[in-house]
Amino acid sequence: MMTSLERRNALKGNELAWYERMLEIREFERRTNELFAAGLIRGTTHLCVGQEALDIGLATTLNPDDVLAATYRSHGVALAFGLSSHSVMAEIMGKATGCAGGVGGSMHMCDSTVGLLPTSAIIGGGMPIAVGAALAFQVQKKKNVGVALFGDAATNIGAFHESLNLAAIWKLPVIFVIDNNVYGEYTRIDLSTPIEDLHLRAASYAMPSIKVDGMDVYAVQASMQEAVDRARRGDGPTLVEAKTYRFSGHSRADQALYRPAGELEHWQKRDPILLTEQALIKKGILDQAKIEAMKTKIVNLVDSAITQAQADPEPSAKDMFSNVFKEMRK
C-alpha cells in the first residue's frame, strides 16, 4: 500500500500518471453515484465530474507542505492529493478506516501528510482558514503557500471579500482559486451574479488575477505556477479563476433538469480527460492499447477499494468525542 505522500509524489513530472489519476477520480465518482443511488451509502454527496484537470493542476503545482482548504466537492481533490480510493470511500461510507476516521463523511476529506486541511460544507469557510495559514507561514518566514479552492457562488459571500482584502493589505502568500463551474446549487451564475468573469473582482483589492481554462491541466498548472511563484517570492496573493463545468447535478439526487438544452453537451466536448488524452496521444506517450489497459486497471482498483471499505468496521460511539478538543498534557 502506498502512502498518501507517495501517491502524491508519483504525479511529479509524470503526465501519464496525471491522466491515470483523472481516470481514477472519474471512475470513483461514477461508483460513488451508483452506491448512493442504490441506497448503500447514507447522507449526501457532491460529485466533481468535469473538474479533474483542476484537481490534478493543484496537486502538481503545490508542495505537500503547502496547505489547501477546499469544499464539500472534494473527492477528486483528495484523490489528486494522494489519498487512496479506499481511504476516501471508507470515509464516505462512515468507516473507521476513512481519512477522518469515518466521522466526517463525503464532505470532510483531510490528510495533514499532504497538506489537505479538512474540507468544509460552509460556503466560503475555507478562505479565512487559508489566509490564516498563509499568515502563519509569513510570520514563521516559511516559503509555503496557503490555497483556498471554492466555487463561483462563494465569491458573493462576505468571507471572500474580507479574505481578499486582508491578504492584499498584508501581502500574504495565499492563492484564491475559484472553480467557476457555472452553477451554485440549482442557480445558474447569471441569475445570482452581475459579472461573468469573477477574477475581475480582484481589482477591488489591487490583487493580480488570472483567468484560466479549467478543463486544460497544462493551463491550470501554468497559472497556478505563476501564482505560487509570486507568493513564495513574498509578492502576495493572486486570484485565479478556472472556467470549468459541473457535469453532474449539485448533489446526490439532483438531475440538473434546470440546465439549458445543449449546455452539458457543449462542455463535454471539452472534457478534461478527453483533452489530456488527446494531448498525450499527440506527444506519442499514450495510445489506445495503453488507454484500455489503464481503464481496466482503474476499474479494478476502485472496485477493490469499495469491497474493502464495505467490509471495514464502523467507528465506535465514543469516537464522536475524540479529536474535538486538543488533548492537553497534564
Q: Which three cell numbers stand for residue 68?
A: 489547501
Distances (CA, A) of 230 to 36, 62, 212, 221, 234: 42, 13, 17, 14, 7
Span 130-159, contacts to ligand TPP by CB under 6 A: 150-154
Cell matching residue 55: 484537481
> Closer CB to ligand TPP, residue 19 or residue 160?
160
Considering only residues 63 through 82, tell me which ones interact with ligand TPP, judged by CB under 6 A. Answer: 71, 73
Residue 178 beta carbon to ligand TPP: minimum distance, rounded to whole angstroms: 8
Among 40, 122, 169, 253, contact with ligand TPP (rule: CB under 6 A): 122
151 touches Mg ion by CB under 5 A = yes
Minimum Å distance from CB 183 to Mg ion? 5
Q: Is 246 in contact with 50 (CB distance < 8 Å)? A: yes
Give, as one character, the DSSP assignment of residue 213. Answer: E
Cα–Cα distance for residue pair 209/225, rounded to 1 Å: 13
Q: What is the CA radius of gyration of the chain?
A: 19
Residues 235-264 that bind ligand TPP (CB under 6 A): 246, 250
Residues 173-232 that bind Mg ion (CB under 5 A): 181, 184
Residue 152 binding Mg ion, by CB under 5 A: yes
**Min dist. Cβ of residue 61 to ligand TPP (A):** 20
Of ligand TPP, Mg ion, none, which one sits near residue 59, judging by CB under 5 to 8 A according to partner kind? none
Residue 52: name the closest of 79, 88, 25, 84 by CA. Answer: 25
Q: How far is the CB of 45 from ligand TPP (least distance, A)?
A: 12
Per CB under 6 A, 181 contacts ligand TPP: yes
Closest-by-Cβ residue to Mg ion is 151
Residue 211 φ/ψ, nearest 5 degrees: -105, 130
122 binds, among Mg ion, ligand TPP, none (CB under 5 to 8 A by kind): ligand TPP
CA distance 206 to 197: 16
Residue pair 96/308 in contact (Cβ under 8 Å)? The answer is: no
Amino acid letter, residue 295: K
- List residues near Mg ion by CB under 5 A: 151-152, 181, 184
Interface ranges with ligand TPP (CB under 6 A): 71, 73, 121-123, 150-154, 181, 183-185, 246, 250
